[in-house]
A and B are shown apart, each in its own frame.
Chain A
């Protein structure tokens, strides 16, 4: 599955770096490098609800605090 994180100005200021780093860490920790592809994108045109993250084209709105839950509920549960 492909996870794309917005790294545009607005999302950057709302913490996309922390989210990227958390996801990179979690993917490694769970040995999912082959199954989960992380990517970046610039503005998705939905800045008001940032940080914007898409998981196989479905849009999610994350913050650094909710990233772990997102990973557990949306990624981990689906790949296993």
Chain B
């Protein structure tokens, strides 16, 4: 048993002019620590490719997660997929990453660009063996995982980026590896790294992708807990209970809100020193209390975090903002989206009378909804969330 877990992120570009993507990523969890990830690329583009890849990825991931033999999975697909009227074959390439107990990865590849392993910032070649199943050459590998391994799998849209246009032969695998090594940063989330690679593909395609392009990244990392407290308890008598519980939790501690940080400062008997630098004109400055990793204002800051979180689970374009800025919202975003795998929210339900002014956009219901929405987004990023109300 180790303390590792996986962070999985993927993103697609559609072929220019297509509304549907012909690539599909399917993730099936197999108990607590095992996962099956399938990336399938259907032949052609548009609706047909979408159906082929959806069927392929769904069938394989479900069968693999149920511990069926690979041969059975492949033959099921071969006999299930509708046959293409133009080409007379049923066809969808696939890559399967089977994470076992977060310790080992079984990698099965059929005709997609070969998986790339980046370990400690450097490319590592994965040994593989070929087997023929139903007339298809399928490569299998098994590797043991280490912390901060990044596994990149992609559809052929990536290696064809810029072919005949900005690059003669497309973006070759060795060039992609070079790019990934150059861009390496251990703190990247899987999704951020996938976005960086995909953005470069889009750029090479001149913004008009000639094929569906999908990148799926699996990051192996340590579990790490972050605790966030917002709002004082509805009953003042619970203040000590709430704060003791909060500070007894392992991991980093974030305190949000003016009153909340004031009671924290009293509880810890340490002064609160507020900063006056507006690093982002929208976001109030942060403060410092010894013993707390981050102290910020409440509702306005968290609203911004939620805005970033919504973007992360969709287009993921704003990481260029929260990824480096030093304002309260960006700092919280980095801690929650990048560092944390397990997040405990401590939410106080006290109503701040001054916020119940109809002219202010920050009333009590908004605060409660913010936390709920943020937890939903974080769950979609694969985080384990616990919310306690006081």
Partners in one complex: yes
Q: Which of A20-45 contact B (CB under 8 A)?
A: 20-21, 24, 38-43, 45
- Does residue A76 face the partner (Cβ distance < 8 Å to B)? no
Point out residues on B near A: beta carbons under 8 Å.
257-259, 261-262, 272-276, 278, 281, 284-285, 287, 295, 297-300, 352-355, 357, 360-362
Among B257, B278, B360, contact of A17 (Cβ-Cβ < 8 Å): B278
Distance in angstroms from A51 CB to nearest chain B CB is 12
Distance in angstroms from A1 CB to nearest chain B CB is 16
Contacts of B362 in A (CB 8 A): 9-10, 13
Contacts of A13 in B (CB 8 A): 300, 360-362
Q: Are B276 and A9 in contact (CB under 8 A)?
A: no
Among A10, A21, A38, A42, contact of B360 (Cβ-Cβ < 8 Å): A10
- Does residue A7 face the partner (Cβ distance < 8 Å to B)? yes
Q: Are B354 and A12 in contact (CB under 8 A)?
A: no
- Give the 6 A-B residue pairs with the shortest CB-CB distance, closest first: A47-B354, A43-B258, A40-B274, A8-B258, A42-B258, A12-B284
**Which chain A residue has the least Cβ–Cβ distance from B355?**
A10
A5 vs B259: C-alpha distance when bound (angstroms): 15
**Which chain B residue has the least Cβ–Cβ distance from A20?**
B276
* Chain A interface size, under 10 / 10 to 19 / 20 to 34 / 35 or more: 20 to 34
Distance in angstroms from B110 CB to nearest chain A CB is 54
> Given known contacts A16-B284, A42-B272, A42-B287, is B258 in contact with A9 (CB within 8 Å)?
yes
A24 vs B362: C-alpha distance when bound (angstroms): 28
Distance in angstroms from B167 CB to nearest chain A CB is 48
Q: Are B297 and A39 in contact (CB under 8 A)?
A: no
Among B281, B284, B353, contact of A9 (Cβ-Cβ < 8 Å): B284
Q: Are B262 and A40 in contact (CB under 8 A)?
A: no
Distance in angstroms from A47 CB to nearest chain B CB is 3
Distance in angstroms from A52 CB to nearest chain B CB is 10
Distance in angstroms from A38 CB to nearest chain B CB is 6
- Does residue A79 face the partner (Cβ distance < 8 Å to B)? no
Q: Are B275 and A40 in contact (CB under 8 A)?
A: yes
**Which chain A residue has the least Cβ–Cβ distance from B296?**
A42
Q: Are B284 and A8 in contact (CB under 8 A)?
A: yes
Q: Are A9 and B274 in contact (CB under 8 A)?
A: no
**Which chain A residue has the least Cβ–Cβ distance from B278?**
A17
Contacts of A21 in B (CB 8 A): 278
A24 vs B354: C-alpha distance when bound (angstroms): 27
- Contact sample, A vs B, 27 pairs, CB 8 Å cutoff: A5-B276, A6-B258, A7-B274, A7-B284, A7-B285, A8-B284, A10-B355, A10-B362, A12-B297, A13-B360, A13-B361, A17-B281, A20-B276, A39-B276, A40-B287, A41-B272, A41-B274, A42-B257, A42-B259, A42-B272, A42-B274, A42-B295, A43-B262, A45-B259, A47-B353, A48-B354, A48-B357
Distance in angstroms from B304 CB to nearest chain A CB is 12
Q: Are A42 and B354 in contact (CB under 8 A)?
A: no
Distance in angstroms from A36 CB to nearest chain B CB is 13
Contacts of A45 in B (CB 8 A): 259
Distance in angstroms from A79 CB to nearest chain B CB is 20
